[in-house]
Amino acid sequence: MACNDKFVMVLETKRNPSIWKHFDLCLMTDNHEMARGKGCGKFMKAAANSTLKLHIDRHCPVTKAKNEKGEGSKTVSSNV
């Protein structure tokens, strides 16, 4: 993303919901689309879902922090 590109608005998308629930599809001032991480705010190219999934799985500091805390896991502990 060039330094002078600015965020204009969030667009709706029907692309892969398991990936795109973590991202907003954003229109930029130069009329191209970028994906913005909902947790970390990082802008990435929106063209490839595989790149976005890799960000979620390996690079996103927000997702990593949730995984380390155990949030989002399906294991339920009971207090007895």
| Residue 72 banded pLDDT, cuts 50, 70, 90 | low
How far apart CA 53 and CA 70 sit, in angstroms, is 19
Average pLDDT score, the chain: 82
Enumerate the H helices of 2-78 as residue ranges: 17-20, 49-54, 61-69
Token pair in block for residue 45 = 């190219």
The predicted pLDDT at position 64 comes to 72
| Whole-Å CA distances, 27 to 14, 35, 45, 48, 65 | 15, 9, 11, 16, 28
| Residue 44 banded pLDDT, cuts 50, 70, 90 | very high
